[in-house]
Chains A and B, each alone.
Chain A
Amino acid sequence: KAGVTQTPRYLIKTRGQQVTLSCSPISGHRSVSWYQQTPGQGLQFLFEYFSETQRNKGNFPGRFSGRQFSNSRSEMNVSTLELGDSALYLCASSLKGDRGEKLFFGSGTQLSVL
């Protein structure tokens, strides 16, 4: 069974640009969450989608957005990039997104903003 797949693995952008990251969950998983990982702030929750609906949102500015498609694949978008957006972005999927359910993480997309 394939794991969670994130593309691309690495990205280099400049300030002011926008970026789209992609996540393909494990087959059959309907919940997809996104986390930002930085050395200074650690792991922070961005948002969670279930059946194409955003159910949870973290404390990030509106420049961070996401969506989920009918096949459960998810994308997140960051507009008007800032230097502080440089981070490892992790996607995680689970069957239903119920509390306590195991999350399966992808290897992440490493975003560098210059």
Chain B
Amino acid sequence: GDSVTQMEGPVTLSEEAFLTINCTYTATGYPSLFWYVQYPGEGLQLLLKATKADDKGSNKGFEATYRKETTSFHLEKGSVQVSDSAVYFCARTLSGGYNKLIFGAGTRLAVHP
């Protein structure tokens, strides 16, 4: 069935380091792909999305490219800040319509000064 797999955390980085969080999805249908972020005590916020192959989503310095050939949607940022510390979730739409999302397990990022 449909699923999303993302790298386990926690990921610990120093400020200004390069970030990559890997995400792969099952290649069923033509899903839309998302990265959501959750800060402590809050709900999820959409970080970026891509709706078709080769699309690149970007926001706040974060980027991810929809790679159909490798079924991947890896999240990258060139220089992380302490304020980026949060849990990041990769997600895809379920085959068959509407906006039901399947989420990955989440990756906790901790950025130290």
**Which A residues fall within an 8 A CB radius of B?**
4, 31, 33, 35, 42-45, 48, 55-56, 58, 90, 92, 94, 97-108
Contacts and interface: CB of A to CB of B under 8 A. Distances in A.
Contacts of A101: 99
A103 B42 contact: no
Contact of B100 (A56, A105, A108): A56
B46 A103 contact: yes
Contact of A99 (B36, B43, B46, B99): B99
Given A43-B101, A100-B32, A105-B36, 20 more contacts: A31-B99, A33-B100, A42-B105, A43-B103, A45-B94, A45-B100, A48-B98, A56-B100, A94-B99, A97-B99, A98-B98, A99-B98, A100-B51, A101-B99, A102-B46, A103-B46, A104-B46, A106-B43, A107-B43, A108-B43
A56 B98 contact: yes
Interface of B: 32, 36, 41-46, 49, 51, 89, 93-94, 97-106
Contacts of A98: 98-99
B98 A55 contact: yes
B43 A4 contact: yes
A45 B51 CA distance: 20
Nearest to A31: B99
Contacts of B106: 42-43
